[in-house]
Amino acid sequence: MNDRTPEPRGVDPWADLRDLTIARVGLGRCGDAIPARDVLAFQLAHAQARNAVGATLDAATLGLDNVVEVHSRATDRATFLQRPDLGRQLAEKDAPRLPPGAYDVVFVLADGLSATAVTRQAPGVLAACLKALPGWSVAPVVVAHQARVALGDEIGERLAARFVVIMIGERPGLSVADSLSLYITANPRPGRADSERNCISNIQPRGGLSPESAADKLAWLLREAVRIGGTGVNLKDDPSAALPSA
């Protein structure tokens, strides 16, 4: 939390640093304890993080048309948290909802560990990504419940998409509870390793990436993935390489 009223610089020597970060630095003390305002801010952040982990994703609140909703094999939130393996597998009943097509990319909006992040950030990020990819064939948007990153691999394979981009809520911390990540995987299929993906993280409005910046980075990575023939450790995040030489 960075909502404290700035104190005069002569009174608080940490004020300049605190203006630059949402991290908790130089909290000070009141007697032998932390000041009450900082204790309350910490308790609020902890409650927001817990709420984000337990929140459910309501596709209707995303304001998107023609989405396909699917579920993992984790039947409820408690099972999802206790059995990560089930969150990586598509529920059998939902497989027929994903017929193959001639798609360059499919976007999957997945609750992950913060449905709050998806609700707040994903619609704007998705709109920016679609704008940044003119000419690409895009599959119907998939909204995935109780989903881990690897669930996108099976979704992408069933749709026969060349790439899958899963937008997923990051694990909430005590500074940000609604941060979104994008994971990009080429030629998706079950069994893909994390080393075969690229990640764009910390998409959120309080010091993180903006939707437009995330979309520009995604578009560059996808174009480079086409050029080199895959994603993962061989695809280096170096946007300056895409700029014309002087």
Q: Look up residue 224 and give its amino acid.
A: E
Q: At what angle do helices 211-228 and 115-131 cross, to 10 degrees?
A: 60
Each residue's pLDDT tens digit, 20-56: 777 778 777 778 888 888 878 878 877 877 877 778 8
Span 133-146, mean pLDDT? 97
DSSP helix/strand/coil, 78: helix
For 82-94, the pLDDT digits (tens) are 999 999 999 999 9
> Which contacts of 29-37 are long-range, i.e. CB under 8 A and separated by 24 or more positions?
37/4
Phi and psi torsions of 133, nearest 5°: -125, 55
pLDDT per residue over 158-184, tens digit each?
Answer: 999 999 999 999 987 777 888 999 999
Q: Which two tokens stand for residue 136?
A: 């690409």
Least confident of 4-13, 87-96, 114-123, 164-173: 4-13
